[in-house]
Amino acid sequence: MPSPRRTLVVLATGGTIAGRAANAHDNVGYRAAALGVDELLHALPGGPGLTLETEDLARLDSKDMDHATWLCLVQRLAHHLARAQVQGAVVTHGTDTLEETAWLLHRVLAPRKPVVLTAAMRPASSLQADGPQNLADALAVAAAVEARGVLVVLAGQVFGAGDARKRHSWRLDAFTAGDAGAIAAIEQGALRRFREWPSAEPIGLDGLPADSSAWPWVEIVTSHAGARGAGVDALVHAGVRGLVVAGTGNATVHVDLAQALQRAQAAGVVVRLVTRCAAGPVLAGRDHRWPVYAALSAPQARVELMLELMQES
């Protein structure tokens, strides 16, 4: 019996993959999010053999990603993934905040179908644009019946939502999964899988306030030499609800900053620790003063704490 899952949904949010510069040599001075999703797909020589449905959800440089767009993206994905004929979804996105969006989708939806985020480091107008190949690879992964979970596809590699990190400002293989490594490679449209697809218990849409302006305010502060507590005091005064501290090494915190964080906690602000190191987990066994998100980047931890606070209220 033929599979009923004959449709792929492609949701566009903008980014460099949809960027255009005045000339083909310019890989820096371009306008992100200039093209719509149908123009991106038009650049591909062929599709994955499934029916494509497209939506332009936003036209953002992802440095400007906001909670309203996140809410819309989560809602549209939940809607489409629940349809029996949908095999999976592709989301085109900027690279800058892609790991944050991926973590939000993973935690809220943890889908049994594939949701594949892809992006590009060079604009569509570039002499050697990487977007069309990345998009073709993302479609191939989303079309794979075995694939599941929130995935990130760039430069021929497939990463899990929690592992993906933007590690380079310029290179085409800008993303890494650190020690975890890639889940799979995508080679000439074929998947070579190394380990399990990501899975989790989803929080579900009901846990998200329907008004994104009501999402709890969470900021990131970094511990560093010469750190001072006045910035934290000002955030508490301004009404911040949660603080993620990107600590040094194994999530350690400068003594002056730690004092301010204690004052913040006494005022009801929730504090969580991560490491500011680019790779490696925070190891247990040390007497951390606040709970630790051992394996999240600081921007992902900000999403996690926001979701934690939503569950409480």
Provide the annotated active-site residues: 16
The only residue of 69, 92, 95, 134 in contact with ligand ASP, by rule CB under 6 A: 95
Q: State the minimum distance, in angstroms, from the CB of residue 39 to ligand ASP.
A: 16
* Residue position matching structure tokens 């549209």: 76
Using the rule CB under 6 A, is 87 a contact of ligand ASP? no
- Applying CB under 6 A, the span of 93-101, 124-132, 157-165, 291-299 interacting with ligand ASP comes to 93-101
Strands lying side by side in the sheet with 218-222: 218-222, 242-247, 270-275
Among 10, 12, 21, 32, binds ligand ASP (CB under 6 A): 32
Q: What is the dihedral of CA 32, 35, 41, 42, to 10 degrees?
A: -130
CA distance 146 to 184: 12
CB of residue 121 to ligand ASP, shortest distance in Å: 5
Tell me how far, at minimum, the Cβ of 228 lies from ligand ASP, in Å.
Answer: 31
**Phi and psi dihedrals of 270, rounded to 5?**
-90, 130
Report how far residue 150's alpha carbon sits from residue 152's, in angstroms, rounded to the nearest whole number: 7
Sole binder of ligand ASP in the list 6, 42, 63, 195 (CB under 6 A): 63
Select from 90, 125, 113 the least CA-distant residue to 10.
90
Compare residues 94 and 162 and give the one whose CB is closer to ligand ASP. Answer: 94
15 binds ligand ASP (CB under 6 A): yes
Work out which of 40, 50, 116, 119 binds ligand ASP, going by CB under 6 A.
119
Bridge pairing between strands 114-118 and 149-154: parallel
Give min distance, CB of 94 to ligand ASP, in A. 2
Measured at CB, which residue is nearest to ligand ASP? 94
What does the longest C-alpha to C-alpha distance in the chain come to? 66
Indicate the DSSP class of residue 30.
-
To ligand ASP, the closest distance from the beta carbon of 13 in angstroms equals 9
Nearer to ligand ASP, 55 or 61 (CB): 61
DSSP line for 85-141: TEEEEEEE--STTHHHHHHHHHHHH--SSEEEEE--SS-TTSTT-SHHHHHHHHHHH
**Span near ligand ASP by CB under 6 A; candidates 45-53, 60-68, 142-150, 209-217:** 60-68
Number of residues in contact with ligand ASP, rule: CB under 6 A? 11
181: amino acid identity, one letter: G
Q: Which of 142, 155, 144, 136 is nearest to 47 (CA)?
A: 136
The one among 10, 27, 58, 96 contacting ligand ASP by CB under 6 A: 96
Identify which of 57, 69, 43, 52 has the alpha carbon closest to the alpha carbon of residue 9.
52
Residue 133: φ, ψ to 5°: -65, -40
Which residue, 94 or 242, is less far from ligand ASP as judged by CB? 94
Q: How many Å apart are CA 202 and CA 164, to the nearest integer?
A: 19
Which region, judged by CB under 6 A, interacts with ligand ASP, from 56-64, 82-90, 197-205, 220-228? Answer: 56-64
Bridge pairing between strands 86-92 and 51-60: unpaired
Q: Which of these ranges, 58-66, 74-82, 204-212, 238-246, lies near ligand ASP under the rule CB under 6 A?
A: 58-66
Query: If binding is defined by CB under 6 A, does position 100 make contact with ligand ASP?
Result: no
Residue whose structure tokens are 């510069």: 21
Among 12, 105, 115, 121, binds ligand ASP (CB under 6 A): 121
Catalog residues that contact ligand ASP under the rule CB under 6 A: 15-16, 32, 61-63, 94-96, 119, 121
